[in-house]
Amino acid sequence: MRGGDDVRGKTALVTGSTSGIGLGIAQALADQGASLIFNGFADDELQARVKADLEARSGQPARFWSADLSGGPPAGLQTLGPVDILVNNAGMQHTAPVEQFPPELWEKVIALNLSAAFYTIAGLLPGMNERGWGRIINIASAHGLVASVHKAAYVAAKHGLVGLTKVVALEQAGRGVTCNAICPGWVLTPLVQKQIDARAASQGLSEPEARRDLLKEKQPSGEFTSVEQLGQWAVFLCSPACDNVTGTSLPVDGGWTAQ
């Protein structure tokens, strides 16, 4: 997969990009010369570190957008200027049986994982249409295609994000703007590493044993997807090879959803 110079000089907004999957995607786009707007929860030190890294990779200015995406239409979206590539990655998780799921956390998971994407898409589409080019990439999940117990809000939000992806793709067909979803399975991020460490501690396992135990439940490959691989998928979706790829949901899940 190659994106090459196809994103050079373009501006990309990646939400939830101060760590994990979002940061990996931002770095991959920066490596190809895109100017990045990054977003997430970060203190001044982390902001400065991410900004310097993205600028060194791209040779372009990078900016931090501090908007909280969990509270309705985000403030300052229209002040960002033209955005050519939008990657909706911001999200959160909470697990509990349906009858015990805290209503306030249901609302927050839906807001951040689904509604935030709606608001950023709706706000940036007019500019993309005016310029006749745009790439919208929604980071869904294997849980946008299948379900797991105790993840009602997350599964509902990610299924909704896959549906939103299809609607936007249909509405934008023939206008130079594509909309696709990437659906990762287990990705080795700092948050997932915490789950591995907790499993190892609670079950008396070594760290490698806890990793294998986690993966075997869902991911037949027995391997984690890397943030670098997801970044390359995002770059590829911005390339001319994907000009006619829209409305798709791409599993990157080691066979999880093939079962």
Task: Write out the H or E segment, with its range, that includes residue 152.
Answer: helix 152-172
Q: Please tell me which residue in 154, 186, 224, 256 is annotated as part of the active site.
A: 154
Q: Where are the beta strands (DSSP E) in the chain?
A: 11-14, 35-39, 63-65, 85-88, 134-139, 177-184, 249-252
> Is 154 one of the annotated active-site residues of the chain?
yes
Task: Compute and round to an integer the Cα radius of gyration of the chain.
Answer: 18
Cβ proximity of 102 and 148 under 8 Å: no
- Tell me phi and psi for residue 187, to 5 degrees: -120, 135
Burial pattern 19-35, b for ≥16 Cβ within 10 A else e, equals: bbbbbbbbbbbbbbbbb
Catalytic residues: 154
